[in-house]
Every structure is written in C-alpha cells, then in structure tokens.
A and B are shown apart, each in its own frame.
Chain A
Amino acid sequence: MTILAVGRPTRSDPDMKSAGTTRSGGALMQDEPLIFELDCWEKTGVDFPRDDFGPDLDASDLAGLTRASPLRLPGLSEPEAVRHYVRLSQKNHAIDLALYPLGSCTMKHNPRLDEKLARLPGFIDLHPLQPMSTVQGALKVMDALAHWLTTLTGMPAVALSPKAGAHGELCGLHTIRAAHEARGDARKTVLAPTSAHGTNPATAALAGYQVVEIGQTADGHVDIADLAAKLGPDVAAVMVTNPNTCGLFEREIIEIARLTHAAGAYFYCDGANFNAIVGRVRPGDLGVDAMHINLHKTFSTPHGGGGPGAGPVVLSASLAPYAPTPWVVHQGGRLALLEHAVGEATASHGRMSAFHGQMGMYVRALAYMMSHGADGLRQVAEDAVLNANYIKARLSGVMSAAFPDGPCMHEALFDDTWLEGTDITTLDFAKAMIDVGFHPMTMYFPLVVHGAMLIEPTETESRRELDRFCDALLELAAAAKAGDVDRFKGAPFHAPLRRLDETLAARRPKLVWTSGD
C-alpha cells in the first residue's frame, strides 16, 4: 500500500470549531478600481499586425482627419479586462440574482430564448445602411412586431423607432402637435395628474407645452371634476397613466377620454404599466389616441443596465397620418422602409431617430410574444396582478397600504405611517433591504403618498421567491417596530459602499474622471 505524502488531512479535525459561513445573502464585497486606473501602457489584449492596415496607408489617405492626440484606451490583458467587468457585475444587484421589486420599473426575467434569437447572425451582423433586398427578414420582424402591437392595443398604427418610454412620450406629443397644427390649431397646454411619472410633465415641457396638474381623489384616482374644469380650447393633450402609479386602474378612463375629446384634445396614455392589462384590455377601446409601450417592460427585453430601452408608440386613426418615419411597407411581395415624407407619409412629423430604432429589442419582444401566445400574454397580466396582490396581502398586516380598500393592479403601494414613532424612514428601511439580499423598492414615488414604498414583483416571480421576499420584509419590519434602529440607520452593512451621501452627490456631482497627469 502506497501512502501519499502530501500531508493533506482527509477530514476536518474533530476538535476544530467551525467558523461558520457568512449568510448575509447580500454581500457584494469585491473592491475594484476604474478601468482607467488599471491602465498599464505596455499591455494589450490584442496584437494588430501592422500589415492589416495596409502597408501604404499614410496621413494623406485620411483627408486631414488623422487623430492628433493619443487615443488613451486603457491597456489591460484579456483576463484583466474580463475580471474587471465580472467584478463590476458582482457589485450590483441583478434580476438574475433575486426579485428586483422596483415599482413602476417592471424589472422582470429576460427569457433566454429571446436572447438566443436576438443573437442570430442574421440579426446581429446587420448594418442599418444595407440594401433593403438583403434585410427582408429583419423587416419582416419589424412588420410582425408592428402587427402584434397594434393588435394587442386595438390601435391602427405604430411608430416603432422611439428608443425609450420618455422618447415615446415625446414622439406622441410631436404627433399630437402635428395633428393640431394641420388644422391650424396651435394649442399650448398639456394636462397631467399629480401622480404622473415625472417624465410626463418633463416631456410636455420639452415639447414646448405649459403643464397643468390635474388633482387626485382620496382613493388614488384622477379627479374627474378637476380634469373637466381644466380642459379648454388651449389644451392639446391629456396624459394619463393606466394602471396609474398608485398601482390602481383608472376606472373612469372612458369618461376621461370622452371629456378630452369633447374639448378637442388628444388622449395620451402612458403605457408604462401595460404589462398589467396586456391581453385583457385594448387601449384603443378606451378612447386612447397615443400610447407608448415600453418593450423593455411589458415584453421583457433587458433594461436597467442590461440593454437599451425601446418605446414604440401606437396611434389612433386620427393621429396615424402624422406618425414619424420610417415604417415598413409592402411593395409587390417585398418589404421596404418608407423613410421620407412622401406618399402616404406626406403628413409625417419627421423622424425620432437616425435609423429605425432598436432592432435587437424588436427581435426579443417579438420572440416574447410568439413564445407566450395569446393565452400566455393574458396570463402575464393576470400573474403580474396576482403577485402584487399576494405581496399586498402578506405585508398589509404590518406595513400600511396607501390604498387598503380593494385589490391593486401590478404594484403594491405602501406609505410610511406604519413607521411612525420608530425614527426609521422609508430610506432607512429601503437601505436595510440591501443587507437581506434584495434591491430596494421604488421609494418616495409617487409623490402623492408620504414616504411611498412602491413594490412591483412582476409575473416572473414564483410563489417561493415571493415568500422569500415577504419573509425578509416582515422580519425587517418586525425589527423596525421592535426599535432596532441601528440596523436601519447604519444600513447597508453588507455592500461595497455604505450609505452614500446623495445630497453631496447631487449638489457637487463629479461626472468626469481625469487622470493624475
């Protein structure tokens, strides 16, 4: 028998006390400098043979555009570059790590099938200036996506190109302005409720409109009487989110649309929360004239650092002629992009982006629709609402629901009255959630609810994950009620950086890194 002499014990010393494992569930402790601080001038991950650039290339070939200053790309080896980005990824929370309950942001699982299809060479290797004849498949994806977006919303037209929800709002208001101006009607005011996403008034202001707020009823809905009083011949559009940011369905939406149209204005619906009603309600049936759809929310394309947004805008028949170019047209069995304001696009208000929008997101969104089917999309809405109500029901015993009567839609809203007398704020509570392994919920929004905590679980969370989340919050809430103030005031403890000075960051932002030399 041979005895290996490596000296390694085959089992733990029975007398040795176990140190135990760290089970904070939230530790993200890797420290990492900026990539520019890792720079080492003599290093590179790639080696370019000189001849690849052509032996005869000289400055005169570049028509005077030769770069005069150094490029200043950081020099790193490939493993250093890989580790840098993996370490960065470990410093943050991710939807692939745990439930990500940011209300009104709809952080949900990005199906891997969608990712696989978006990476097909026929999609990722396209160039936007390729001849139309070589991109028929991509145009077919855009055409099919447009078909399903208009079908699901009951609207006749869609502008695909806007690149985010707010960009979609801007597109919608430009389209509305074009429709008014075509009649020689230069209206100057946009109405939006106090609970609106901040982007609504911001977009209206950017588009050159005066913004007037519509009040809210005590039960969290648009105040119809206030709306009626503020409507008039100068109102170009009314912007309403449905379901709204309090997580409630605006039951009077048909009346809102009727009043808006009676005043000669257009009804813009912020479709950020379409995931709560997709497959169940068609906004076109409610009298909506324009609505953006965040593909990165309802149709689960990545966002929040995982990928660009996409905010197509569906349009009613009265606004469709003014839609921005380009859009896909059928020309004798072939597909083409109508890019200029000619023919059926004569009244178009222009373009929202240089090319046609976020192609990769179109593929993912279409894949999401096709893989779910009509029954699956209906279930998306049902499960999104069911999950939010499950959380509302489980937490309402301890935390105070802002609107306790009746069910909510896709997000559960709590206020901070349950924290009264504890000296713990919504901010403190949110920071303590990091220590138990969850991303904080949306806080202090909507503005109409004091110390708001807005929780949106989305339909992609299982009962087990919802329970894990609720158990963690109930345990935190019990600690808060029991007066364990230090646990909250000092939070987060298990994070690469502790409580950040948000005030100083806002007052004296350092937005640019400069090298020491």
Chain B
Amino acid sequence: MRFTKDHEWVDLVGDTATIGITAYAAEQLGDVVFVELPAAGKTVKVGEALAVVESVKAASDVYAPISGAVTAANSELADNPQTVNDAPEAGGWFVKIKISDPKQVEALMDIHAYNAFLGTL
C-alpha cells in the first residue's frame, strides 16, 4: 500500500489500484456523512478532483493520486458513509482505477515514509 501527502492510500493489484483515504484523514474529518464518487468509466489525471468527502466539520476534495480510468466506485458508501470512519483502509475504499502508468504508484510514499510525514504535522 502506498500513500500521498493528501492522505490517500493506493493499493495496487495487477493494473488495478484501489484508492481510499487514510485512517489519519478519517480521524481528522470526523464522522463522514456523505461521499460523492465518480461514475465508472471516468478518466482522471493526477491531481484532479476525484471525489468529495463531507463530514460534520467540512467538505473536502479527494484528489486523484494516479492517472487512469475508474472501473468501480464503492456503492456501500452511499448508504453507509460511516464505513469510511470504521474501516478507512479496507471496506471504506472509494474507487478502483485501471492505472495508465505504474511508475506513478512507485513514486508515492510507503508506510514508513507516510508515518514519518505524519510525525511532521
């Protein structure tokens, strides 16, 4: 699993990356009340707005950590946004993306680098 400074995680299996927000992000947001996800088929580039996550405190854009085409969005989150808080790095995943450039994933932080980054915040 890889991580971004915007607190997203990327789990690559084959050429499909599962993307969500980290436990730290979920904790900072507080109770998530709504997640707006892209439709399957949408293509995104690194840094583009991919999803919107809304908590009782704030609404935040989630940026695409990698480029590719969305193959699936987590429909569970529509009815149970709490899943993002309960299992941010498992059942609370946002989208699956068929990646166009594996190097983009390798460039992201590993768990040690991310934990070190969190220590600086």
Contact = CB atoms under 8 A, between A and B. Distances in A.
A493 interface: no
Contacts of A447: 58
A137 interface: no
Nearest to B85: A503
A507 B81 contact: yes
A390 interface: no
A495 B31 CA distance: 24
Contacts of A507: 33-34, 81-82
A15 B79 CA distance: 64
Contacts of B56: 502-503, 506
A444 B30 CA distance: 11
B94 to A, nearest CB: 17
A198 B33 CA distance: 17
B57 interface: yes
Interface residues of B, number: 10
Contacts, number: 17
Contacts of B59: 198
Contacts of B82: 507
A444 B82 CA distance: 20
B57 A444 contact: yes
A506 B81 CA distance: 11
A507 B81 CA distance: 8
B61 to A, nearest CB: 9
Interface in B1-44: 31, 33-34
B57 A503 contact: no
Contacts of A198: 59
Interface in A503-517: 503, 506-507
B114 to A, nearest CB: 19
Interface in B65-94: 81-82
A502 B58 CA distance: 13
A444 B54 CA distance: 14
Contacts of A502: 31, 56
Contacts of B31: 502-503
B74 to A, nearest CB: 16
B58 A506 contact: no
A414 to B, nearest CB: 16
Contacts of B81: 507
A503 B58 contact: no
Contacts of B58: 444, 447
A198 B57 CA distance: 12
Candidate in B33, B54, B59, B82 with the most chain A CB atoms within 10 angstroms: B33
Nearest to A444: B57
Nearest to B33: A506
Nearest to B56: A502
A452 to B, nearest CB: 10
Interface in A471-517: 502-503, 506-507
A507 B79 CA distance: 9
A30 to B, nearest CB: 27
Contacts of A506: 33-34, 54, 56
Interface string A193-210: 000001000000000000
A408 to B, nearest CB: 23
Nearest to B121: A450
A447 B29 CA distance: 11
B84 to A, nearest CB: 12
Interface of B: 31, 33-34, 54, 56-59, 81-82
Given A503-B56, A506-B34, A507-B82, 8 more contacts: A198-B59, A444-B58, A447-B58, A502-B56, A503-B31, A506-B54, A507-B33, A507-B81
13 contacts: A444-B57, A444-B58, A447-B58, A502-B56, A503-B31, A503-B33, A506-B33, A506-B34, A506-B54, A506-B56, A507-B33, A507-B34, A507-B82
Counting from the closest, the 5 A-B pairs by CB-CB distance are: A506-B33, A503-B31, A444-B57, A502-B56, A507-B33
